[in-house]
Amino acid sequence: MAVFISFEGGEGSGKSTQAEILAERLRNSGLAVEFVHEPGSTELGWHVRDILKRGLLGERAISAEAELFLFSAARAELVLKVLQSFLAQPNAVVIADRYVDSTSAYQGYGRGIPIEQVAVVNALATRGAMPCLTFLLDLPPVNGLTRIGDLQLGFRLDDSILYAGEARAQEGARFEDEPLEFHERVRQGYLELVANEPDRFCVIDATLPERRVSELIWDEVCDRFPELTPVMESAN
Ligand code: TYD
């Protein structure tokens, strides 16, 4: 069985960067790594991303429940068409940039759908395919949202990547424009998920410098999965 690791966190927590750093490091160690980003990674997943993005142009017309099902529909496809076959491989690693805990945190704690109901939908969508380790990059929402603001300002300084900056701004804006209380609920929700499953989660202080965060993540992966070490050593 492959090792399945997911990354979670609020807006601007640096989780995507850290997920990519870990994937690259594992690949360089000779392991087969499948990287998935939710929603996306399948045709339906890209359509869902597009619908959620386009929903921005009008007022927020998509209900919380529809949003829950959209993310979950994308996940069901991902599990069936991508994850299951990878998870069956030995000496492989699956890294997910967001997975089922995002739905609990955002649609459950953030939007207010009862968490037991979200859990039922999550179980259906995943068919029980759960990460063995989940990194939660935790930081106060105000820090994360400020980071995103600075990033977008940075993009605008260079016209050649203006479009990329705008696209990113629109993609995230569905949630980035929510009031601070929404993001506080998401953060507290994540911490509650950790309290319920302390063994699966590893909480990382995302206010630390990027390099320190990636060291902590690497140490945790090496500690938790000693079975990967021989493969890494034989590649060196
Ligand atoms: P994305 O563009 O992936 O940015 P990032 O992961 O870097 O924040 O944003 C996806 C947004 O969708 C993000 O704000 C979290 C949200 N989301 C949910 O609300 N529920 C989910 O199940 C998932 C996977 C994401």
Beta pairing partners, 133: 5
Domains of the chain: which residue ranges? Answer: 3-235
Predicted local distance difference test score (pLDDT) of residue 39: 87
Predicted local distance difference test score (pLDDT) of residue 177: 77
**Choice from 6, 38, 60, 98 to test ligand 1 binding pocket (greatest atom count within 8 A of CB):** 98
Instruction: List Cβ neighbours of 62 (8 Å cut-off, separation of 6 or more).
Output: 51, 52, 55, 70
Question: Per the confidence metrics, is the pTM higher than 0.75?
Answer: yes
- Whose CA is closest to atom 19 on ligand 1? 106
Predicted local distance difference test score (pLDDT) of residue 235: 63
| Euclidean distance between CA atoms 182 and 60, whole angstroms | 15
Predicted local distance difference test score (pLDDT) of residue 160: 36
Residues having CB within 6 Å of any atom of ligand 1: 11, 16, 38-39, 71, 98, 102-103, 106-107, 171-172, 175
Predicted local distance difference test score (pLDDT) of residue 217: 98
Predicted local distance difference test score (pLDDT) of residue 50: 86
- Whose CA is closest to atom 3 on ligand 1? 38
Predicted local distance difference test score (pLDDT) of residue 60: 59
- What is the sign, positive or negative, of the torsion defined by CA atoms of 126, 32, 6, 143? negative
Predicted local distance difference test score (pLDDT) of residue 171: 46
Domain 3-235 has CATH 3.10.310.10: no
| Euclidean distance between CA atoms 20 and 97, whole angstroms | 9
Predicted local distance difference test score (pLDDT) of residue 167: 42
User: How far is the centre of ligand 1, averaged over its atoms, from the C-alpha of 102 (Å)?
Assistant: 7
Q: Give the residue ranges of DSSP H helices in the chain.
A: 15-28, 43-54, 64-78, 84-87, 100-102, 115-126, 141-156, 162-176, 180-196, 210-224, 229-235
pLDDT tens, N- to C-terminus, the chain (236 residues): 899 999 999 999 999 999 999 999 999 999 999 999 998 889 999 999 888 877 645 555 789 999 999 999 999 999 999 999 999 998 899 999 999 999 999 999 999 999 999 999 999 999 999 999 999 999 999 999 888 876 554 443 343 333 344 444 444 456 877 899 999 999 999 999 999 999 999 999 999 999 999 999 999 999 999 988 766 667 65
